Amino acid sequence: MCHMLKVVRNTLADGGILVDLNGEHIRWQYIVELHKLQACEDLRLGNKLKLTHIEWRQQKMKVNLAAQVFSSSVTDALQYCSHVLKLPQVSGCNATVKFIHTFDRLFDILNTRNPFAKGFKSALRVSNKLSWHPFLDTAHSYILELKDTPGNYMLSSKRKTGFIG
pLDDT of residue 160: 94
Residue-by-residue DSSP string for 5-17: HHHHHHHHHHH-E
Do residues 46 and 73 lie in contact, with contact meaning Cβ atoms separated by under 8 Å? yes
- Single-letter amino acid, residue 98: K
pTM of the model: 0.93
CA 72, 77, 79, 80 dihedral sign is positive
Residue 105 in contact with residue 135, Cβ under 8 Å?
A: yes
Phi, psi of 23 (to 5 degrees): 80, 10
Q: What is the pLDDT of residue 156?
A: 95
User: What is residue 54's predicted lDDT score, i.e. its pLDDT?
Assistant: 96
CA distance 98 to 123: 24
Give 3-state DSSP helix, strand, coil % of the chain, rounded to 5.
65, 5, 30
Domain with 9 in it? 2-164
Please report, in tens digits, the pLDDT of each residue of the chain (165 residues total).
899 999 999 999 998 899 999 999 999 999 999 999 999 988 888 899 999 999 999 999 999 999 999 999 999 999 999 999 999 999 999 999 999 999 999 999 988 878 788 888 888 889 888 888 999 999 999 999 999 999 999 999 999 999 998
DSSP state of 24: -
Three-state DSSP at 86 gives coil
Domain count, the chain: 1
